[in-house]
Amino acid sequence: MTSAAADSIARYVDRVQVVAPIARQFADWSERHARPADEFVDALRDAGLLRMLVPPDLGGAGFSPWEIGPVLESMARVDGSAGWTLALSQGALARLLPRRIFSELFADTRATMAGSLNPTGARAVKVVGGYRFSGKGSYVSGCTHATWMTAAALVVEEGKPKFVDGIPVIKAGVMSMADCRILDSWRVTGMRGTGSHDVVFEDVFVRDELTFAQGDALANLGAALAPVALGIARHAIGAFVELASAKVPAGARGLLRERATAQAQLGQAEGLLQAARSYFYETAREGDALQRESRQPSNEQRARLRLGSVMAAQLAAQCVDFIYDAAGLTAASTDCAIERCWRDVHVTRQHITLATTRFEVVGRVYLGLEAGSPLI
């Protein structure tokens, strides 16, 4: 990243600080109602934070998905769900469409896009000029405020899924949220404020130029989600330092910060987080360079980029585990910020692009084997 780009990113981090009080104010409301509060989404729009990937000629910042990690991390330090909402409201999937189509979709300055790339619940039938999509998209973060919906679906011919060389053909397509219906299905322990409900659609026509390959969409998604885990972990550490300076543990004479075990656990947590950040941002710089040079990464490069994201999420979760343990029973109280951080980071690490199942795929690539999965 050039110094000019770094300065631009820093200005957007400053915008997060402007929105932060509103994120804090409505975090509990979003948690209770399982969706981002309209006031918070409006604040993101007003600050220009939902158009970081939109080209400058359309009123956006023109960043690449690999550059905006510090902005997402900063928002997640305020609240995990707020960071996730910001990450997945950028319209990253639309960048896979032709530029003319991207401009068409985001000409409306309030436009946002939500999506689901799990094809198992949807079918796409080829028709003249496009496809007809039917089914359900699962875990569609940001659907409650989106104007556009991206769904992945198995391509069906004569009532049966289409295969090429033994691999099912999958198409992702963009449709208007006006043609979809949101199900109240987001019932989880953490990240409740993201409103990641299921979305259903029936026989919706999607023209060819609004479709793209599902694998392309999954490739860089970890770059947006891993910084959220990093921000949550930093939030937990900050909350613990504050707690340790005030809490006298049961049976102890001094403050929690004077307990050797707590000191060691904080040191381990900090080390894990710094290691996670260093590796993630190292691979993010590599991913950004590949994209700016319009180079397709090799499987080995893709594996390394994926590993940077996975390790960020997994080590962030381990970091919060240390903090949760060090805080004692206080960490289990819903009045304690550490409790929500613990729930949020463990839901984050379960996302398919960040989950431990990716280690197997990375290992296969490093061993010179076929990846065994379209998602490296």
Residues 3-95: name the CATH superfamily: Acyl-CoA dehydrogenase/oxidase, N-terminal domain (1.10.540.10)
Tokens of 252: 């102890």
**What is the number of H-type helices and E-type strands within the chain?**
11, 11
Angle between helices 337-348 and 221-244 (to 10 degrees): 160
Kindly state the average pLDDT of the residues 330-358.
96
> Would you kindly state where each structural domain of the chain is located, as residue ranges?
3-95, 113-212, 220-366
Distance CA 291, CA 297 (A): 9
d(CA 21, CA 85): 16
For residue 29, give the H/E element and its range.
helix 3-33
Q: How many CB atoms lie within 10 A of CB 198?
A: 18
**Best CA proximity match to 62, nearest among 100, 20, 87, 91:** 91
* Rg of the Cα atoms in the chain: 21
Pick the CATH number of 113-212 from 2.40.110.10, 2.60.120.40, 3.30.420.40, 2.40.50.140: 2.40.110.10
pLDDT at res. 292: 86
Query: Could you tell me if 243 and 337 are in contact, meaning their C-beta atoms sit under 8 angstroms apart?
Result: no
Place of tokens 């940001």: 142
CA torsion angle 111 68 237 30 (round to 10): 0
Tell me how far apart the alpha carbons of residues 294 and 288 are, in angstroms, rounded to a whole number. 10
Sign of CA dihedral 324, 328, 329, 335: negative
Report whether pLDDT(356) > 80: yes
Tokens of 93: 């999937």
Residue 144 has pLDDT above 70, yes or no: yes
Helix (H, G, I), strand (E, B) or coil at 307: helix
What global pTM score does this model have? 0.94
Neighbours of 310 (CB within 10 A): 24
> With bands split at pLDDT 50, 70 and 90, how would you rate the model's confidence at 1?
low
Q: How far apart are CA 28 and CA 20, in angstroms?
A: 14
Question: pLDDT at position 107, please?
Answer: 86
Q: What is the DSSP string of 117-140?
A: --GGGEEEEEETTEEEEEEEEEEE
The whole-angstrom separation of Cα 150 and Cα 343 is: 27
Which pLDDT value is given to residue 250?
Answer: 84
Q: Is the pLDDT of residue 207 over 90?
A: yes
Indicate the class that CATH gives domain 220-366. mainly alpha
Write the pLDDT tens digit of every residue in 11-50: 999 999 999 999 999 999 999 999 999 999 999 999 999 9
